[in-house]
Amino acid sequence: MEQAEIIEQQKEISANFLTKQQNAFRLISDTDIFLQEENFDKATENYRKAIGILTEIGWTHGYLKLLQETLQTINERKRESEKDKQLEQELLIKKQKEGEEFQAKISTSIQREKDRIKRKEFEIQRREELIEKTENRKQEAFKLMDNAENSLNQNQYLQSIEKYRQAELILNEIGFSTRAIREMIQRVKQKGIGDREVKFEDKTEASTKSPKWFPDVKIEDLRTD
């Protein structure tokens, strides 16, 4: 495959990937408004759509688990909200029947429920912060992929491979699919060998040492799958 085709394929994959991912995160962000309005059905629908999109583009179970737990928390809030409304209705009825003393007891119970809801909201916020942190790491990996592409354009094959490998490590760390990166590494290796433009040290040291300008990658790395 020609270098231009490789680059174009990577751009197409990245663009499609980012578009779908941005749509998923937009759905998650819009959920905050629905939660403030206590529109739990719409919030649940948004999270399910987001999980579906992220599953489609290759997010692994380990990372999706955070979103699934958040979805469960939203469902809990819905049940608790309905319970609160029921308690409030019962409060009005019992207030008429049993007076101010009974009203005070129910108010205390409702306050406990509200406090528990606030704790749940804090848990949601904490999970969303973790999602944001993971997103930042992913963007760091994408930047490395862009740098790897630039190195490839300059026929700097070893630097390109190393940057792709660094990106792969980050994406593995956050449970992200790296199959496309591994394929790119193989293509860069094949192109580097085919063009014979990779600079090596003298023949007496070639089997044991890396090029001086890239000490972390050995010659054998370009010839193995």
What is the DSSP secondary-structure string of 10-59? HHHHHHHHHHHHHHHHHHHHHHHHHHHTT-HHHHHHHHHHHHHHHHHTT-
Mean pLDDT of the chain: 77
Above 90 in pLDDT, residue 2? no
What integer pLDDT is reported at residue 208 of this predicted model?
39
What integer pLDDT is reported at residue 144 of this predicted model?
93
What integer pLDDT is reported at residue 23 of this predicted model?
87
What integer pLDDT is reported at residue 8 of this predicted model?
63
pLDDT band for 167, please (50, 70, 90 cuts): very high
- CA distance linking residue 58 with residue 60, whole number of Å: 6
Residues sharing a CB contact under 8 Å with residue 214, sequence separation 6 or more, in sequence order: 158, 159, 162
What integer pLDDT is reported at residue 9 of this predicted model?
62
Above 90 in pLDDT, residue 57? no
Please state the rounded mean pLDDT for residues 203-211.
38
Please state the rounded mean pLDDT for residues 146-151.
92
Q: Of 168, 176, 163, which Cα lies nearest the Cα of 217?
A: 163
- CA distance linking residue 44 with residue 211, whole number of Å: 54
Contact 73, 120 (CB under 8 A): yes
Above 90 in pLDDT, residue 165? yes
pLDDT band for 166, please (50, 70, 90 cuts): very high
Contact 35, 18 (CB under 8 A): no
Contact 139, 132 (CB under 8 A): no
pLDDT tens digit string along 3-51? 666 666 666 667 777 888 888 888 888 888 888 888 888 888 888 888 8
pLDDT tens digit string along 94-123? 777 777 777 777 888 888 888 888 888 888
What integer pLDDT is reported at residue 196 of this predicted model?
54
What integer pLDDT is reported at residue 10 of this predicted model?
65
Would you list the domain boundaries of the chain? 3-222
Above 70 in pLDDT, residue 213? no
What's the pTM value of the predicted model, to 2 decimals?
0.37
